[in-house]
Homo-oligomer: A and B are copies of this chain.
Amino acid sequence: MQVVVPFAAGEPKTRLADVLEPAERETFARAMLADVLATVVDAGHEPTIVATEPFDPDVLESTEAVRTATSVVVDDRPLTAAVNARLPAADDAVAVVMADLALATPTALDRLVAPDADVAIAPGRGGGTNALVVRHPDFRVDYHGASYLDHRQIAREAGVTLETVDSFRLGTDVDEPADLVEVLVHGDADARAPTVLRTMGFALETTDGRVAVGRRDEPRPN
């Protein structure tokens, strides 16, 4: 299946500005993108990076298999327009998976593409739409606001069936400092994003029985 992976190549992950410098945010965002691409290819699909500005996928240092399967297009329109331009015109299937789903696994993606519905959505926290599969030409996305609720309404109005995929892994998009905990707890030990975080000095800390992420004052040299 074609899997669209939108990627804000310009100034990614600004909500992590409190804990990561701009260059670190770029490194981390690329690491998550590399992990997502590897997961998509492992699951047997073909990813297309839809980048907001020119982007050389070689910087991701992906494996040969992932590099071969991945294509890149540049589309500087807002997310909704860039995605809608790539949704199926006929009864074809296209998936859209966000580039910051660092916890995604091939098994989780299998569950996303499994439903026999016109639209399948894995919601994120705060009413977001973290991943979806569209199999009907009458459905279009609108990522503004509580997009999960909007997408349910759009599906109802278009008369297409919609199924919700109940996944913690796909429901976790890494946007804010607290989300880094999830990358360290659930990320594969050899995946890129957790490795980058650990290299930058991040580690899990337990205080008062709750878990947070902490950083050593002096990050190790990269």
Instruction: Show the binding face of A for B, using Cβ within 8 Å.
Output: 107-108, 111, 122-123, 125-128, 143-146, 148-149, 166-172, 178, 181-182, 185-186, 204, 206, 209-212
What's the minimum C-beta distance from A207 to chain B, rounded to whole angstroms?
9
CB <8 Å contact, B167 and A123: no
Q: Is the CB of A210 within 8 A of B126?
A: yes
> In the docked arrangement, what's the CA distance between A80 and B5, Å?
42
State whether A146 touches B186 (Cβ < 8 A): no
**Contact among B144, B169, B212 with A166 in the assembled complex (CB-CB below 8 Å):** B169
Report the Cα distance A161→B128, complex, angstroms.
34
Task: Report the Cα distance A48→B145, complex, angstroms.
Answer: 40
Query: What is the CB-to-nearest-CB distance from A41 to chain B, in angstroms, rounded to a whole number?
Result: 20
Smallest CB-CB A-B distances: 7 pairs: A168-B171, A145-B206, A127-B211, A146-B211, A127-B185, A126-B211, A144-B209
16 residue pairs bridging A and B, Cβ less than 8 Å apart = A107-B166, A122-B168, A123-B186, A125-B182, A126-B182, A126-B211, A127-B185, A143-B209, A144-B206, A145-B210, A145-B211, A146-B211, A149-B185, A149-B204, A167-B167, A171-B171
Q: How far apart are the CA atoms of A165 and B169 in the complex, in Å?
A: 10
Tell me how many chains of this kind the complex includes. 2
Report A102 CB to chain B, min CB distance, Å. 14
Measured in the bound complex, the distance between the Cα atoms of B209 and A126 in whole Å is 11
- Chain B residues, Cβ within 8 Å of A166: 107-108, 111, 167-169
Other A-B pairs beyond A123-B168, A123-B185, A145-B210, 20, CB < 8 Å: A123-B186, A125-B181, A125-B182, A126-B178, A126-B182, A126-B210, A126-B212, A127-B204, A127-B211, A143-B209, A144-B206, A145-B209, A146-B204, A146-B206, A146-B211, A149-B204, A166-B168, A167-B167, A168-B168, A171-B171
Compute how far the CA of A28 lies from the CA of B34 in the bound complex, rounded to whole angstroms: 42
Q: How far is the CA of A167 from the CA of B144 in the complex (A)?
A: 25
